[in-house]
């Protein structure tokens, strides 16, 4: 399914291009690779995204991080989005935790707990009212402590993998150069 694009749709000087288009702003959790490597666990940051759909075409949909020109072009939609008060925390998303079941995640989300860090900081009063939350909180605290202790090793593993990939690339380039040299002789 190939999308059709009109260059004028993306021209921030063309204010009229917002007509006939539907835009929806939302928060998308993007993985922060640097923070994840430092923490030794997946860390996400909230990024404002936009979905632009062109009227009359099911295939003309743009989804990406929102740019300043998008905020100006779809000023009214962006204002409503900001006024909605959507506030999503940053941290390790619950769905990234292998020992949490789907029902646990739904229950925690109902209580507005969306990250492992929030679970670890959960109020004891909330835990008392919800059977099993003390155990989940204890596991969250232990998981965070272990991740913090393993963070330097995780970072070294990632750096090592990057260096291996670079070395493999250099070796294959060297082999190609050797083969070319032999052909030229």
- What token pair was written down for 150? 């393993």
Closest Cα partner for 33 from 169, 154, 164? Answer: 154
Higher pLDDT, 127 or 49: 49
What is the strand order of the sheet 44-54 is part of?
21-31, 44-54, 61-65
**Longest distance between any two alpha carbons in the chain, whole Å:** 81
Instruction: Extract the runs of DSSP E, i.e. beta strands, from the chain.
Output: 21-31, 44-54, 61-65
* Mean pLDDT confidence for 155-180: 87
Would you call 127 helix, strand, or coil by DSSP?
A: helix
CA-atom Rg of the chain in angstroms = 24
Residues 106-135: tens digit of each pLDDT: 888 878 788 888 888 888 888 888 888 899
* Mean pLDDT confidence for 17-42: 80
Contact present, 110 and 102 (Cβ < 8 Å): no
Would you call 31 helix, strand, or coil by DSSP?
A: strand
Assessment of whether the complete model's pTM goes beyond 0.95? no
- What token pair was written down for 116? 């492992």
Calculate the CA 56 to chain-centre distance.
Answer: 30
């Amino acid at each position: 399914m190939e999308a059709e694009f009109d260059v004028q749709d993306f021209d921030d000087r063309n204010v009229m291009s917002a007509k006939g288009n539907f835009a929806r702003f939302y928060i998308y959790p993007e993985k922060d690779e640097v923070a994840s490597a430092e923490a030794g666990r997946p860390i996400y940051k909230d990024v404002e995204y936009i979905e632009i759909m062109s009227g009359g075409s099911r295939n003309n949909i743009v989804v990406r991080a929102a740019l300043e020109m998008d905020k100006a072009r779809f000023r009214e939609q962006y204002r409503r989005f900001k006024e909605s008060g959507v506030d999503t925390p940053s941290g390790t998303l619950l769905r990234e935790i292998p020992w949490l079941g789907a029902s646990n995640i739904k229950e925690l989300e109902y209580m507005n707990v969306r990250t492992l860090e929030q679970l670890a900081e959960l109020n004891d009063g909330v835990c008392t009212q919800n059977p099993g939350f003390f155990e989940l909180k204890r596991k969250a605290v232990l998981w965070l402590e272990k991740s913090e202790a393993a963070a330097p090793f995780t970072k070294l593993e990632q750096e090592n993998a990057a260096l291996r990939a670079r070395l493999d690339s250099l070796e294959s380039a060297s082999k190609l150069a050797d083969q070319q040299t032999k052909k030229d002789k």
